[in-house]
Amino acid sequence: MKKLRYAIGFFILTFFLVLLIMKLTFQQLIPDSHRAFIEEKGWDLSFYYPKKEPFTIPDYPEPLETFSLAGVDFTGLEKTKITRHRYRLEQKCDTRNLEAVILSGENKIIGSYIEVSDTVPGVAEMVEKEDFMNRDYCFN
């Protein structure tokens, strides 16, 4: 019986140690400029691994108009290699997750927007947290 208690305690300790290592790894994966940019807008980052993927500028006018409404301008960036960084935010929009998306190229932030989730099309302008929640995007 005593060995069972030790085994359970060791398992719980190992579980929390793995969570701590994951959190530290997550913190190291985010560039300081991105973290400062997101926190400056009043958003809190969630415990979730960021996604980093290449981004190509859309060719069609409809997606360009959508990005333009979100405050992202691609003028003069046709030859720039752009990377999209996605960061999950603490705040939820109804039952969906919010993601801060930062577009970077040549080690500087080109543009940013908020995406509600992968299942809902469309993007919104990266604004202060209070301004975003006062708009009609979310009902919570």
Residues 24 and 46 in one domain: no
The whole-model pTM stands at 0.74
Residues 23 and 87 in one domain: no
Position with higher pLDDT, 15 vs 107: 15
Q: Is 79 a domain residue?
A: yes
For the chain, give the DSSP string. Answer: -HHHHHHHHHHHHHHHHHHHHHHHHHHHHS-HHHHHHHHHTT--B-SS--EEEEE----SHHHHHHHHHTT---TT-TTS-EEEEEEEEEEEETTEEEEEEEEEETTEEEEEEEE--SSS--EEE---HHHHHHSTT---
Percentage of the chain modeled with pLDDT above 90: 11
Domain range for 18 is: 1-30
Residues 81 and 49 in one domain: yes
Tens of pLDDT, residue by residue over 78-136, are 777 889 998 888 887 777 788 888 898 888 888 888 887 655 556 777 777 777 777 66
Position with higher pLDDT, 73 vs 121: 73
7-11, 46-50, 89-93: which has the minimum mean pLDDT?
46-50
